[in-house]
Amino acid sequence: MRVGTPAESRPAERRVACVPDTVSALVDAGLTVHVQEGAGRHAHAPDAAYRAAGATVTPEDPTPESDVVVSVQPLTLDQAAKLKPGAVTISFLQSANERDLLEVYRDRRVTSFSFDLLPRVTRAQSADALSSQALVAGYRAVLVAAERLPRFLPMFTTAAGTVPPAKVLVLGAGVAGLQAIATARRLGAVVEAYDVRKAAGEEVRSLGAKFLELDLETQSGVYASVQSEEFLERQRELIGEHVAASDIVITTAAIPGRKAPVLVTTDMLKAMAPGSVLVDLAAESGGNYAGSVAGKETWVGEVLVHGALNLPSSMPVHASRLYARNVLNLLKLMIVDGVVQPNLDDEVLDGCCLTHDGQIRKELP
């Protein structure tokens, strides 16, 4: 069977879904791999490296001839219309934003899998692309903030006096938040963090940051769930003073398939010191600050708000390596004797399958 990797065509996407290391593993599993010329250029994976790993590099998009198509962003409508009937696709596909694409997949009897819906179970961890890319985003968010902050992050003791360390507040202690905490600590900042899950406190403290204990009901479990507006209002009241005291705020709270909860208000930002920075990792899903605009920087008084847009794509080398490994591990669940045969009795595959056998399997938001 033929696995195809097209060059990403959506704006500002610099990652690639297959790297030479994973090509070798797919070939060893009995598949043939076809990669479009230049697909890995931003990730510094040259065509020659793909060939050396056993792939065929094609000048044209390999999508129409492929049995399996792997990509980062969803295929375009034009690409989807050229898929083989019964083909398999793997990508980040948000059903709420891709209704037309899902209808094309349905009509062509395509089996499509989305990492956005991958079940959060132990067996699926090695294929968890949301987590791997969140790690990249959390790291990059701190670098973005540090570059824009008009002061040092670490403390310096000099003949001219002592420069105190910057104060960083991270809201949300999932994968992105924990990586942001670790990176800010490495750069010498004093870090505080908050999460609705009490269990996150231990992880935050293990990284050398202070965990904020707010007078709020906490959640159990590994992942945060939707909160009521009354809860969010009380949360904002208690967070406000900590936001005002910070030089950098990084917000990471997002709920797949839903609008991001608003954690930071304009009044909070106006209380921050001039030159402070907010990096909103949830800007693409509405923003943890309601005024965030994905891909743009705006000023609220003298505070800079950076609406993050696809931060993992700004570090395409390691983001691609991690993502390609996630793709490989998901495919391994489907490969039987050199043939990709998705078994939807498998809870992992069933959970992230959007279309199959002429049907849209998940309710569209």
Q: What is the pLDDT of residue 135?
A: 98
Residues 125, 206, 341, 359: which is the catalytic one? 125
Cα–Cα distance for residue pair 72/323, rounded to 1 Å: 8
258 is annotated as an active-site residue: no
Nearest alpha-carbon partner for 357 in 117, 88, 80, 119? 88
Quote the pLDDT of residue 237.
86
> Which residue bears the tokens 């903030």?
145
Of 90-99, 125-134, 223-232, 235-244, the range with the lowest mean pLDDT is 223-232
Question: Is it the case that residue 221 has pLDDT exceeding 60?
Answer: no
Kindly state the helix (H) or strand (E) to which residue 181 belongs, with its residue range: helix 175-186
Q: Residue 185 pLDDT > 80, yes or no?
A: yes
Catalytic residue list contains 225: no
pLDDT digits 0-9 by tens, 329-345: 999 999 999 999 999 99
pLDDT at 254 > cutoff 90: no
Take residue 74 and report the two structure tokens written for it.
């969803």
How far does CA 315 lie from the centroid of its chain?
A: 12
Q: What is the mean pLDDT of the chain?
A: 94
Give the bridge partners for 353, in sequence order. Answer: 113
- The residue annotated as part of the active site, out of 91, 112, 128, 289, is 128
> Active site includes 341?
no
Band the pLDDT of 22: cuts 50, 70, 90.
Answer: very high
Exposure string for 18-51, b = 16+ CB within 10 A, e = fewer = bbbebbbbbeebebbbbbbeebbebbebebebbe
Annotated active-site residue in 51, 120, 148, 186 = 120
Give the model's pLDDT for residue 224.
Answer: 52
Alpha carbon 234 to its chain centroid, in Å, reads 28
At which residue do the structure tokens 């056998």 appear?
357
pLDDT tier for residue 232 given thresholds of 50, 70 and 90: confident
Instruction: Give me the pLDDT at residue 218, please.
Output: 59
Beta strand spans in the chain (E): 2-5, 32-36, 56-58, 68-70, 88-91, 111-114, 156-158, 161-163, 167-171, 190-194, 210-211, 248-251, 277-280, 297-300, 303-307, 335-336, 339-340, 353-356, 359-360
- The residues facing 57 across adjacent strands are 35
List, as one string, the DSSP characters of 94-162: -GGG-HHHHHHHHHTT-EEEEGGG---SGGGGGG-HHHHHHHHHHHHHHHHHHHHSSS-SS-EEETTEE
- Looking at residue 365, its pLDDT comes to 56
Q: What is the pLDDT of residues 257-314, one digit of tens each?
A: 678 889 999 999 999 999 999 999 999 999 999 999 999 999 999 999 999 999 999 9
pLDDT of 193: 97
Please report, for residues 113, 180, 284, 336, the alpha-carbon distance to residue 74 in angstroms, rounded to integers and kept in the order given: 10, 28, 16, 25
Tell me which DSSP letter residue 219 carries.
B
> Is residue 36 annotated as a catalytic residue, yes or no?
no
Residue 49 has pLDDT above 80, yes or no: yes
Annotated active-site residue in 71, 79, 91, 131: 131
- Beta strands in 172-321, from DSSP E residues, in sequence order: 190-194, 210-211, 248-251, 277-280, 297-300, 303-307
Q: Which among 223, 267, 341, 357 is annotated as catalytic? A: 223
| Residue 184: CA count within 13 A, CB half-sphere | 35
Instruction: Give the separation between CA 302 and CA 270, rounded to whole angstroms.
Output: 8
